[in-house]
Amino acid sequence: MLISRLAHPVRNLGFGTRATIWTQGCSLRCAGCMAVDTWPFRADRDWPAEDLAAWLLTLPQGVDGVTISGGEPTEQPELPGLLAMLRPLATARGETWDVLVFTGRDPAQVWSDWPWLFELADAVVAGPFVAAEAGDLFLMGSANQELILVSELGRERYSRPWEERPALDFAIEDGRLFLTGIPRPGELEALTHDLRQAGVWLKGRSWRGV
């Protein structure tokens, strides 16, 4: 697996408190993507699947699920093995984990080319990010995307209406500022502006513009 970043706890990319895996590498390259740093396929970001399993198993109790995003998860050749590994982990945690996958692929293409995704995940957010259709939908960066509920657990956790999209979270690791969550339109630009007003200039960032 080519991995961009691992994070826990994450509370704005799915139900409850989650572990999140961002894959490295994406050929879709949607305009307006907030994570252009995950586009290159970098060999130096290779992680053995067993190391990912070990990381998940060492997390504290109270994990509600695992979110897989990117990058583009369907371009990871070992992803079927990873998802197959997550199911037994959910059982080990007392049947309380759900698996949520974000993909920029069109839902019909996912059904056709990656049907195993719907067998192994509890919920899938599918569709390319379209900046012109960006809004404030829970879990979806733009209105064209589709939240597909696959399992009983997925329907239980994600079928109810959500009042609003959770706010972005921030973490500092090794001198780098990381954002988790799905920004509202203009939110990243406002963040950049506010940091500059406070005298903080970013040396580089994972989104383009401003």
Place of tokens 């390259």: 29
pLDDT above 70 coverage of the chain, percent:
88
**pLDDT tens sequence across 133-165:** 998 888 999 999 999 999 999 999 998 766 677
pLDDT band at 208 (very low <50, low <70, confident <90, very high): low
CB 2 within 8 Å of CB 144: no
Angstrom distance (rounded) from CA 171 to CA 102: 21
Q: Average pLDDT, whole number, for the chain?
A: 85
pLDDT over threshold 70, residue 199? yes
- For 32, half-sphere exposure in the C-beta direction (CA atoms, 13 angstrom radius) is 17
Residue 51: CB partners within 8 Å, gap ≥ 6? none
pLDDT one-digit tens code per residue, 119-129: 778 999 999 99
Residue of 18, 11, 15 lying closest to 168 (CA atoms): 11
* pLDDT confidence band for 204 (50 / 70 / 90): low
Q: What is the pLDDT of residue 38?
A: 94
Tokens of 30: 């949607």
pTM to 2 decimals?
A: 0.88
| pLDDT exceeds cutoff 90 at 26 | yes
80 pLDDT more than 80: no
Judge whether 12 and 183 are in contact, CB under 8 Å: no
Secondary element (H or E) of residue 189: helix 187-197
- pLDDT tens-digit profile of 178-194? 888 888 888 777 877 77
CB atoms inside a 10 Å sphere around CB 74: 21
